[in-house]
A and B are shown apart, each in its own frame.
Chain A
Amino acid sequence: MIRDITIGQYYPVDSPIHRLDPRVKLSATMLYLVSLFVFSGYLGYVLAIAFVAVCVKLSRVPFRYIVRGLKPVLMLLIITLLFNIFLTKQGTELASFWIFHIYDEGLITAALMGLRLVLLVIGSSLMTFTTTPNQLTDGLEKGLRGLKVIHVPVHEIAMMMSIALRFIPILVEETDKIMKAQQARGADFESGKLLQRVKALIPLLVPLIVSAFRRASDLAMAMEARCYHGGEGRTKMKPLHYKKLDYVGYLVLAGYLGLVIGSSFVPFLK
């Protein structure tokens, strides 16, 4: 059962967004997130919402999945809203009780801030919905290739990421096994004060770490035996090549950015 968990939340359907090169999606997500924090004016919001809405529609990921992605940040969202509502002291006062005062400006900033946050989460989760972790690491490796010039070990980092992705489910399962084994001998992970609980984790962590090291050394040997010697001279089974769709993707992205930047200079819409 546990082995079935997948890292991330890939939603396997065929769509233009799924077919995009991971590099396009990575840069689009990055730029989109940046754009969320630099634009000003209502037109900017309209554009940002429209852009992500079109992408969601194209991706064929059901809307409820996207909404579910907001759950983990719900707390953060509420806190942001409350802070903005109660700490903004501008505009006309709408209501007040005890030490709390609510101003109209506060409500507006809170709403806009919340909207930005929601867009941010939707934007980034859309990428993980449409890109497998493997594609992501491949995209990172190829997209950041240029950083090798300044001695960033891009290939090694990507290799580490993909190995981590492969071994996380295995280690999770192993944790579960060790936990059950220790519980069978009377270990108690659930009750007691914080300090006691932390102490109870030691008999769990020690074997886990030992086994992780053993796996790592086995794996290193297996990789060496299969002629692994770094990224030098390595070819790929599935190399990344830009296709027509990817250029269209870049164009659309550029168009969106152009509009967002342009909208900031339109004074009457502010």
Chain B
Amino acid sequence: MKKNMLRTENLVFEYIRRDEEGNVESINKALDDVSLEVSRGEFVAILGHNGSGKSTAAKHMNALLSPTEGNVFVNEMNTKDEALLWEIRKSAGMVFQNPDNQIIASVVEEDVAFGPENIGIPTKDIWKRVEDSLEAVGMTAYRTHSPNRLSGGQKQRVAIAGIMAMRPDCIVLDEPTAMLDPAGRKEVLRTLHELNKNEGVTILLITHYMDEVIDADRVIVMDSGKAVMQGTPREVFSQVKRLKEYRLEVPQVTELAYELKQAGVPLPDGILTVDEFTQAYLQAKNKCYYDV
């Protein structure tokens, strides 16, 4: 039986602002009837313009927010059930945008140990977990360093190791690469794919960068609180016009292929990489040659 790792059922969430007397001043519907499923072992990316509700959705997966309406299930545990709170947070770890603001200790290995310490793992096992997780993200060489001296990408990998040390089934990452340089972004992305492949961890990656999602198994597009598109990267990126309506850019090659197609060059939809493009383009060129 294929069990769902994450599942939301008609999820609605409202940020309610109240004035001093407690009267409702304004209601901001950040999530509007979102139903999603992420299966075990999947690598899913969420795309969306600023304010589309991505972070709000992510915080539901870790029970940091509780639905106004609808339900969220993590490993088939309802996040509304307070008794399951720690179990839920153990199975769905969360990595945030700013690496500085999520590292707690002044030594890398002690920070990785923070999660296991909180859930009461015996000392000997903590050491094992710290070693394994640092190994998994390739940061073993830095275990005794101060986080302050690491690069952004390295810090984010430490943060990921800190989550891995809790042995989660799933990691939710809210724009983990937004504050990193291109090298750092690549580093983090590679780590995530390795974890997904080697350790079988389910990944839910929220990002602004289109090129980060082309290797995902599935892409979800959000716009004003709704999940508006779903499918493989190729399916999603074939619909360049629709994506533009949601104020999203497509990867540069995809855009180029799209524009060429509009201009009459016979190219297929949903080209994602430069290699694909060159091949398709050469084919198209040959075809034109014979047609003439």
Residues on A close to B: CB < 8 A?
Answer: 3-4, 133-134, 162-163, 165-166, 169-170, 214-215, 218-219, 221-229, 233-239
Residues from chain B with Cβ under 8 Å of A170 in the complex: 100, 148
Residues from chain B with Cβ under 8 Å of A226 in the complex: 89, 93, 114-115, 118, 162-163, 166
How many angstroms between the C-alpha atoms of A269 and B102 in the bound complex?
60
- In chain A, what residue has the closest Cβ to B107? A134
A-B contact pairs, 24 of them (CB 8 A): A3-B149, A4-B149, A134-B105, A134-B107, A163-B104, A166-B104, A166-B106, A166-B147, A214-B101, A219-B104, A223-B104, A223-B114, A225-B96, A226-B93, A226-B118, A226-B166, A227-B86, A227-B89, A234-B118, A234-B120, A235-B122, A236-B126, A237-B117, A239-B123
Chain A binding site: helix, strand, loop or mixed by DSSP?
Answer: helix
A227–B102 CB distance below 8 A: no
Residues from chain A with Cβ under 8 Å of B142 in the complex: none
Chain B binding site: helix, strand, loop or mixed by DSSP?
Answer: helix
The CB with the most chain B CB atoms within 10 A, among A215, A222, A229, A238, is that of: A222
Q: How many A-B residue pairs have CB under 8 A?
A: 95
B148–A3 CB distance below 8 A: yes
Residues from chain B with Cβ under 8 Å of A221 in the complex: 64, 96
How many angstroms between the C-alpha atoms of A152 and B100 in the bound complex?
30
How many angstroms between the C-alpha atoms of A219 and B111 in the bound complex?
13
Known: A219-B104, A235-B122, A238-B123. 8 other contacts (CB 8 A): A3-B148, A166-B103, A215-B98, A222-B94, A225-B96, A234-B118, A235-B126, A237-B116
The contact size tier of chain B is 35 or more
Partner among B89, B98, B107, B117 whose Cβ is within 8 Å of the Cβ of A235: B117
Partner among B64, B98, B120, B166 whose Cβ is within 8 Å of the Cβ of A224: B64
Give 10 closest A-B pairs by Cβ, nearest first: A222-B102, A218-B101, A237-B113, A227-B118, A225-B94, A226-B115, A3-B148, A237-B126, A233-B120, A166-B106
Residues from chain B with Cβ under 8 Å of A234 in the complex: 117-118, 120
Is B130 at the interface (CB under 8 A from chain A)? yes
Is B7 at the interface (CB under 8 A from chain A)? no
How many angstroms between the C-alpha atoms of A149 and B102 in the bound complex?
32
Residues from chain A with Cβ under 8 Å of B107 in the complex: 134
- In chain B, what residue has the closest Cβ to A232? B120
Partner among A214, A218, A224, A238 whose Cβ is within 8 Å of the Cβ of B110: A238
